[in-house]
């Protein structure tokens, strides 16, 4: 049985992202390597965007840094470019 963790809005995004891959995709969902690669590639693009936009390295991002206004341009680009 996996432990439930509570995260505040200031939680380190890198830690949360790693937990998502390890606990959710791999352990709970038994996701295929292709699914994991797709999520990896999408998050890589998002983190590059966030680094340029927020001027923070991915390891310094907090969950509270990622808001709709800060992420909306990349979401719009994904949708408009047919990448979604």
**Within a domain: 7:** no
Domain containing 17: what range?
Answer: 13-80
Give the Cα separation of 36 and 44 in Å (integer): 12
Cα(67)–Cα(69) distance, integer angstroms: 5
Q: What is the pLDDT of residue 71?
A: 82
Predicted pLDDT of residue 40: 93
Residue 75 neighbours by CB distance under 10 Å: 13
Q: Considering the domain boundaries, does residue 39 fall inside one?
A: yes
- Give domain status of residue 4, yes or no: no
Question: Is position 34 within any domain?
Answer: yes
Asked if the structure places residue 8 within a domain, the reply is: no
Length of the chain: 84
Assign residue 4 a region: left if phi > 0, alpha if psi is -120 to 50, beta otherwise? Answer: beta
Question: pLDDT tens digits for 16-66?
Answer: 999 999 999 999 999 999 999 999 998 998 898 888 888 999 899 998 988
Confidence (pLDDT) at 12: 87
Answer whether 46's CB lies under 8 Å from 72's CB. no
Is residue 1 situated within a structural domain? Answer: no
Q: How many domains does the chain have?
A: 1
pLDDT at 9: 45
Asked whether the predicted pLDDT for residue 8 surpasses 60, the reply is no
Question: Would 75 be classed as within a structural domain?
Answer: yes
Per-residue model confidence (pLDDT) at position 31: 93
């Amino acid at each position: 049985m996996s432990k439930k963790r509570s995260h505040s809005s200031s939680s380190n995004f890198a830690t949360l992202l790693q937990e998502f891959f390890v606990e959710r995709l791999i352990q709970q969902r038994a996701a295929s390597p292709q699914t994991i690669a797709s999520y990896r590639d999408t998050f890589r693009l998002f983190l590059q965007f966030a680094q340029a936009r927020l001027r923070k390295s991915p390891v310094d991002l907090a969950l509270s840094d990622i808001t709709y206004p800060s992420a909306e341009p990349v979401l719009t680009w994904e949708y408009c470019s047919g990448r979604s």
